[in-house]
Amino acid sequence: MNEIMRLPMTRAWLVLVAATVLVFTLAENNAPARMATITIMLIAAFKLRLVFLYFMELASGVMPWRMFADVWMLVVTGIIIGLYLLAPL
Amino acid sequence: MHQPDLSADDQQVVPTLITDQRKLAGDEGVWFFICADITLFGVLFGLFMVERYKAVALFEQSRLALDPLLGALNTLILLSSSWLVALAVHSARAGQREAVGRYLVLSMLVGAGFAVTKVFEYWHKIAAGITLLTNDFFMFYFALTGLHFLHFLVGLVVLGVCWFKSRHEAIDARYVVWIESSGCYWHMVDLLWIVLFPMLYLLHAS
């Protein structure tokens, strides 16, 4: 059990679970809503990075896959936050 | 028919590919597929946001019909199932056949919870008269989550094949590449939901 707790994927999983609980709490208490929503999307980007690095094992920096993962994460997050901010209130 | 020895390679560290400096987990072809697939989903996410930009009020009103608790629950289910698959991959590299089988079964059982929640959610929407044709938001909701659900079902089958192979074949370097590739596919299902959940359920319009 101790060995499992020391593994990078276990630590990543614990952080991912905590981040999901935080996202849900932010969404439920949404104050102020716009700021909370942007924070939620940034946390989602952080979660994507953890999955890429520690579940899909790109942490060693293997190219070009690592670069693709980073670019995909940035583009998807950028498009969602950008169009969210541009949309009329 | 030849029956492989199921006990001989237990606890035996798998040689070659696993102990050398190979860095990419899984087969390159599977990675090409994953990159192409998530790019396609990226385009669909962009299309959703463009349509939302054009009709914020409609999308906001429709979004409120979704239950964020179910979305969050599904996130936790997929994350936990992904973690269990990562542990199965770790065990396969150490040649631990029993642990591989155990983690794969657990990952499928936990992952199946996603199907239960999703079917409940679809049933609830359809019972309330909400379908793909209700409006643009629900067209995207059913199309995106439906496409994701198909990926999820394929992933469950792939994990089932991994489990079957772990019972009937040697846990060797070839098997490790197989389970790594399958694991990466399963993590991709997780990745897509990490975006879908906040984008569909939580984009607050005020």
Q: How far is Cα B6 from Cα A74, in angstroms, rounded to an integer?
A: 45
Q: Which of A4, A40, A56 sits opposite B187 (nearest CB)?
A: A56
- What residue of B is the nearest CA neighbor of A65? B31
pLDDT score for B8: 43
From chain A residues 37-76, the ones with a CB under 8 A of any chain B CB are 37, 40-41, 44, 47-48, 51-52, 54-57, 60-62, 65, 68, 72, 75-76
pLDDT of residue A32: 64
Of A20, A28, A75, the CB nearest to B42: A75
Q: Find chain B residues with C-beta within 8 A of A38's C-beta.
A: none
Provide φ and ψ at B203, rounded to 5°: -75, 95
Six-digit token string for B134: 């209700």
**B128 interfaces chain A, CB cutoff of 8 Å:** no
Nearest chain B residue to A17 by CA distance is B76
pLDDT one-digit tens code per residue, A38-55:
999 999 999 999 999 999
**A1: which DSSP letter?**
-
Establish whether the linkage from the previous residue to A64 is cis, with ω within 30° of 0. Answer: yes
The pTM for the full model equals 0.90
Q: What is the spatial distance between Cα A61 and Cα B114, in angstroms, rounded to a whole number? A: 31
Total beta-carbon pairs less than 8 A apart between chain A and chain B: 119
Nearest residue to B189 (alpha-carbon basis) of B162, B157, B167: B157
**Whole-angstrom distance, CA of residue B33 vs CA of residue B142:** 23
Instruction: Return all residues near B51 (Cβ < 8 A) that are at least 6 apart.
Output: B59, B136, B140
Q: Which pLDDT score is estimated for A30?
A: 60
What pLDDT is attached to residue A81? 97
**Which of B183, B191, B206 is the closest to A34 by Cβ?**
B206
Q: Do A86 and B53 lie within an 8 Å CB cutoff?
A: yes
Average pLDDT, chain A: 92
Record: contact B86-A9, CB cut-off 8 A: yes
Q: Which among A88, A87, A80 has a CA at the least distance from the CA of A39?
A: A80
* A11 interfaces chain B, CB cutoff of 8 Å: no
Q: Determine the Cα–Cα distance for residues B19 and A35; give it in Å rounded to an integer.
A: 47
Which of B54, B75, B85 to mutate to test binding with chain A, by most A CBs within 10 Å of its CB?
A: B75
Instruction: Please list the pLDDT of chain B residue by residue as tens digits (206 residues).
Output: 444 444 444 555 554 444 434 478 888 999 999 999 999 999 999 999 999 999 999 999 999 999 999 999 999 999 999 999 999 999 999 999 999 999 999 999 999 999 999 999 999 999 999 999 999 999 999 999 999 999 999 999 999 999 999 999 999 999 999 999 999 999 999 999 999 999 999 998 86
**Helical segments of chain B, H only:** 28-54, 56-63, 68-93, 97-127, 136-168, 173-197
What is the pLDDT averaged over residues A76-87? 96
pLDDT over threshold 90, residue A16: yes
Return d(Cα A57, Cα A62) in angstroms, integer: 9
Chain B residues touching A25 at Cβ < 8 A = none
